[in-house]
Amino acid sequence: MENSLKIIQDSVKHWYAPLILGLIFICTGIYCLFNTGEAYTFLSQVLAYSIMISGLIEILFLYGKIKEGSNWQWALVFGLTELAIGFILFRNPNIAFVYLSIVVAFMVLIRSLSAIGKSIELRTLGTKDWWVLSVLGVIGVIMAFILINNPKLAGMTVAFWIGLALIMLGLFSLFLSLKFRKIKKAAKKIPAELKNKWSTLNNEIKEKLNE
């Protein structure tokens, strides 16, 4: 219960963050899908800039999460990981497709596992279509393993799978942002008295468990 209330109070305040990230991932993914024959160096640079921007956005919202006392650890992991990946691609635009697919797959895997975790949190809130985010997360995990287990796929094929994986990241980021926005609107309708009773009840439960 306490975690559910924490989501309502904290996570949904920045519901537009995953919306921005989702749009970035989808646009980059579509570019990869329709430009598989593009000069490899240029494609690598597009990925590098997109991933670094994504990491910067995560870190920009990090201060607010720490100040509010909400869960900020995953945001830090995402931000630093994506900044590192983007920097590696930026500094090594001619990196082999084999390594590029593994690097992107690692990023997709982390965010997909996070999506599955978020779907469970949405379920605790009573969101009926929580399973949609879970399914998208599972598909993301599958795509990540396809890239990891088949790093020697032909260049154009790797670009295609990277595009699909990024679009999948974008879809569950958009889905999550819409759910958070909906929860934020619903949370405003909860009376302050009821919120205080909820907090008091949670504190009493914690005290009993620690006896």
In this structure, what token pair is assigned to residue 62?
A: 């990090």
Predicted pLDDT at 154:
47
Cβ atoms of 119 and 134 within 8 Å: the answer is: yes
pLDDT tens track for 45-99: 778 888 888 888 878 777 666 665 566 777 788 788 888 888 888 887 777 666 7
**Position 181 confidence tier, pLDDT thresholds 50, 70, 90:** confident
Residue range 126-154, pLDDT digits in tens: 778 888 889 988 988 988 888 788 766 64
Q: Which of 10-19, 23-32, 48-57, 83-92 is predicted least confidently? A: 10-19
pLDDT of residue 83: 87
Please say if the pLDDT value at position 19 is more than 80: yes
When pLDDT is cut at 50, 70 and 90, the band that residue 43 belongs to is: confident
17 vs 9, residue with greater confidence: 17
Q: Is the pLDDT of residue 5 over 60?
A: no
Sign of CA dihedral 73, 63, 22, 174: positive
User: 3 by DSSP, 3-state: which?
Assistant: helix
Q: Which two tokens stand for residue 171?
A: 């879809």
pLDDT above 60: residue 155: no
Mean of pLDDT values over 165-172: 87
pLDDT at 25: 87
Helix extents (H) in 10-72: 16-34, 40-60, 62-68
User: What gap in Å lies between CA 26 and CA 6, rounded to an integer?
Assistant: 29
Identify which of 115, 118, 163, 167 has the alpha carbon closest to the alpha carbon of residue 141. Answer: 115
Q: Both tokens of residue 35? A: 């430009």
Could you tell me which of 92, 89, 118 has the C-alpha nearest to residue 106? 89
* One-letter identity of residue 182: K
Tokens of 194: 């009821």
Segment holding 172, helix H or strand E: helix 155-188
Rounded alpha-carbon distances, angstroms, from residue 199 to 38, 98, 193, 202, 209: 55, 51, 10, 5, 15
Round the average pLDDT of the chain to a whole number and report it: 76
Task: Please report, as a single letter, which amino acid is at residue 15.
Answer: W
Burial class (CB in 10 A: 0-12, 13-18, 19+), 154: exposed
pTM value surpassing 0.85: no
Is the pLDDT score of 30 beyond 50? yes
Q: What is the pLDDT of residue 39?
A: 54
Taking the CA atoms of 111, 50, 100 and 85 in sequence, report the sign of the dihedral they define. negative
Burial class (CB in 10 A: 0-12, 13-18, 19+), 103: buried
pLDDT at residue 1 in the model:
46
pLDDT in tens, 114-125: 888 888 878 877
